[in-house]
Amino acid sequence: MKPLFRSHQQRRFKNTLITLLLLCVFIALANLSTRYSSQSDISNNASNTLSTATLDLLSSLPDPITITAYIKQGLPIRAQIGQLVDRYKRSKANLSLVFIDPDLQPEKTREFNIGPEGIILVEYQEHLEKLNYIDESSLTNALLQLASTQQHWLSFLSGHGERSPSGTANFDLGLFAKALTRRNIKAQTLNLAVIPAIPDNSSLLVISTPTSPLLADEWAVIKRYLDNGDNLLLLTDPNNLFLSSLQDYLGIQTLPGVIVDNDTKLKGINDPRFVVASHYPTHAMSLGFQATSVFPITTALTIIPNSQFKAEPLLRSSINSWTETGAISGKIRYDANSQEHLGPLTFAYALTRTTAKNNEQRIIVMGDGDFLSNAYLGHVGNSELGLRMISWLSHDSHFLTIPAKKAVDQHLILSQTTVSLMGFGFLIAIPLLLISCGFFIWRMRKSR
């Protein structure tokens, strides 16, 4: 009996030891799982994996990245943003995401013009980029812009009642100038009556709706600047009479009247003079841009035949718009017997030409000078649209084309014959088969 008892004790000791070893292994694995993670994307088109361009960009950014999402609590978009940023965190450990309810920080809401839809701020090396819409393409290109260390200077023409980049009035461009500063772009005013030359360090001249005529000497300086192949952003308004010489030089004409759009009512705007753009013609400036932009009082533009510039439309009104030349009050309608024109109407053009230095000269002419003003800059995508214009004009439009990854085979397409056979099978054949089986079982049991 003693050998049998000893053998039983040895077996129990052995089983206990194996159990303890297994527990130690499981505890060690659990501890390692909290420190290290491993994931595998088994989707058909790698829809849960960042593109190679994004991964290469993240590896080239050594400093921390902070993403602050001013989104109200309880909104499902918080979870979507978190899932996207988690993919970035896997490749960049010093990337952080913070959610803030804008209602709890009213001072930040005023500073960044945060609307009810919220915004996302991306910060890198003390520079900020604002996003109204976030996906891999928009976030990666925001990081690309922030990583650019090249500083640009913009010259804003002054002395004729133009909108000031340092002004705080509703019609000024002070908030837009602050947005430029966060992107490492400096704004300076330029009075050609005092300094009759455009600085060499200026990558772009901005002329924003002057309210008095330019002097002949000032126009001569601007003409030499353009003849030299330099870049220009021209913002005009309906019935502005002080830019006719410049518009003739550029081959641009303004149509009489103000654009009115019946589609604005569908967007909750009661003023028909507001033009809302959510679809943009194909152009490098608007590539990947999906936000809606709002334009308060806009004039339509047209190209003069035989212009020396290649003109491409940037912004258009809807098919339900027209140029209203009469008073905008009460019920208005298109008058075919007047100078009014039916939509869609182009109110922004990108002009380009090859200079003698074999460089591409870039010019944008906008039929609205209000959309970048302090009063309207916070409207959805206005700020981002303005920044994209500046980047394209400054030849600093770094943009990565990242195709959207869509799941395949989301739709099942069946022929009419297949649908009929499935309907016959589920509605008739299968019920008859079940009834027959039940009847057969009943007969078998009754015959016993």
CATH number at residue 176: 3.40.50
Gap between the Cα atoms of 439 and 448, Å rounded: 15
- 15 domain-assigned: no
Query: Considering the chain, what is the average pLDDT of its residues?
Result: 84
Burial of 292 (0-12, 13-18, 19+ CB in 10 A): middle
Question: 210 and 119: one domain?
Answer: no
Contacts for 200 with CB less than 8 Å, ≥ 6 apart? none
Gap between the Cα atoms of 299 and 280, Å rounded: 17
Question: 120 and 188: one domain?
Answer: no
Gap between the Cα atoms of 277 and 265, Å rounded: 13
Omega of the bond leading into 76 within 30 degrees of 0 (cis): no
Question: 170 and 109: one domain?
Answer: no
The CATH number covering residue 72 comes to 3.40.30.10
Q: What letter represents residue 204's amino acid?
A: L
Question: 287 and 187: one domain?
Answer: yes
CA dihedral over 387, 389, 393, 398, signed as positive or negative: positive
Question: 187 and 240: one domain?
Answer: yes
Question: 117 and 249: one domain?
Answer: no
Among 27-31, 145-149, 202-206, the least confident range: 145-149
Question: 162 and 123: one domain?
Answer: no
Best-predicted range by mean pLDDT (9-13, 154-158, 195-199, 240-244): 154-158
Question: 268 and 338: one domain?
Answer: yes
Question: 282 and 349: one domain?
Answer: yes
Question: 214 and 341: one domain?
Answer: yes
Give residue 69's domain range: 52-131
Residue where one domain finishes, among candidates 346, 376, 393: 393
Given a cut of 60, whether residue 1 has pLDDT beyond it is no
Question: 87 and 160: one domain?
Answer: no
For residue 135, give the nearest of 7, 290, 247, 28 by alpha carbon: 290
For residue 52, give the nearest of 419, 402, 287, 360 by alpha carbon: 402
* SS3 of the chain: helix, strand, coil, percent, to 5: 35, 20, 45
Q: What letter represents residue 333's amino acid?
A: R
Contacts for 269 with CB less than 8 Å, ≥ 6 apart? 276, 294
- Mean pLDDT along residues 239-249: 90
Given a cut of 80, whether residue 400 has pLDDT beyond it is no
pLDDT at 14: 82
- Over residues 317-343, the pLDDT tens digits come to 999 899 988 888 778 888 888 888 998
Percent pLDDT > 70 in the chain is 91
DSSP string, 235-271: E--TT--S-HHHHHHHTEEEPSSEEEEGGGGGGT---
pLDDT at 160: 92
- 384 domain-assigned: yes
Question: 198 and 342: one domain?
Answer: yes
- 428 domain-assigned: no
Burial of 148 (0-12, 13-18, 19+ CB in 10 A): middle
**How many domains, the chain?**
2
